[in-house]
Amino acid sequence: MINDVAELVDVNEAGEFQQRFPASLVIGGDGSREMLTYDFRQDPPPLVLIDVSAQDWSSAMHQAASLSALLEQFPENGWQWDDSEPSSP
């Protein structure tokens, strides 16, 4: 799910998330423990899943290069549950 704009500040300030994941922007999640997050340490920032209990970026799981790419691939591929980027076709 993608969070409402009104929820973005609260979600991103909760649980010391910014201290553990500097340069992040949570925009949603999988409806459970994983948070869909832009990684602004990179340019352009990819989307990753991060478990709410993770301590740092090392556990981030790459999802897509952009939100539009995620929305395009999601119906066929769903969430990516490993930390490797998909190979190019």
- Specify if 26 maps to a domain: yes
- Specify if 65 maps to a domain: yes
Closest listed residue to residue 2, CA positions, set 45, 33, 31: 31
pLDDT at site 89: 36
- Specify if 88 maps to a domain: no
- Specify if 39 maps to a domain: yes
> How many domains, in total, are found in the chain?
1
Distance of CA 69 to the CA centre of its chain: 13
Range of the domain at 65: 5-75
Closest listed residue to residue 27, CA positions, set 11, 50, 44, 43: 11
pLDDT at site 86: 47
CATH number of the domain enclosing 62: 3.40.1580.10
Copy the structure tokens of residue 51: 């478990």
- Specify if 18 maps to a domain: yes
pLDDT at site 87: 38
Report the C-alpha gap between 87 and 39 in whole angstroms. 19
Q: Could you read off the pLDDT of 36-83 as tens digits, one per residue?
A: 999 999 999 999 999 988 999 999 999 999 999 999 999 998 888 875
DSSP 53: T
- Specify if 17 maps to a domain: yes
